Amino acid sequence: MTMTLDFLYAKIHNATVTEANLYYMGSITIDKQILDHLELYENQKVQVVNVNNGARIETYIIHGQPGSGVVCLNGAAARFFHPGDKVIIMAYCSLNKSELATHKPKIALMNDNNTIQSIQDHEDEKTIF
């Protein structure tokens, strides 16, 4: 039997919420250009942490307009996330022990306008973008 454990796959760090839409079916809409750089996919499960109030949710991704900078919390999550809040969005992957040595999560550090400032292959390693 091969055991797998969950590890960070990619992180969007310090993004700014642009919208909160209570009456849309639940999910998070993210600028597709950001998703493409991190190899994140529509309907992929993510965890979203609100830096302003500590709220944490799990939801799934919907593609937003490329280049728009959109980060919109939809559905019930809109009660915990408001425009202007800073968020961290994390996706995870399952790895077995043999994959650990080469696994490097991609970390996108965001500007205030939700453009990528840099992408790192680890939180304290070199910039790769």
User: pLDDT tens, 51-102?
Assistant: 999 999 999 999 999 999 999 999 999 999 999 999 999 999 999 999 999 9
Cα–Cα distance for residue pair 59/57, rounded to 1 Å: 6
Query: Angle at Cα 126 formed by Cα 98 and Cα 90, nearest 5°?
Result: 65
Closest CA to 88 of 10, 8, 7, 14: 14
Does pLDDT of 122 surpass 80?
Answer: no
- Which of 3.30.470.10, 2.40.40.20, 3.30.70.890, 3.30.40.10 would CATH assign to domain 5-120? 2.40.40.20
Residues labelled as active-site residues: 27, 60
Per-residue model confidence (pLDDT) at position 124: 60
* Reported pTM: 0.92
Closest CA to 36 of 10, 7, 14: 10
Per-residue model confidence (pLDDT) at position 25: 83
Helix (H) / strand (E) containing 56: strand 56-64
pLDDT in tens, 48-61: 999 999 999 999 99
Span 34-38, mean pLDDT? 97
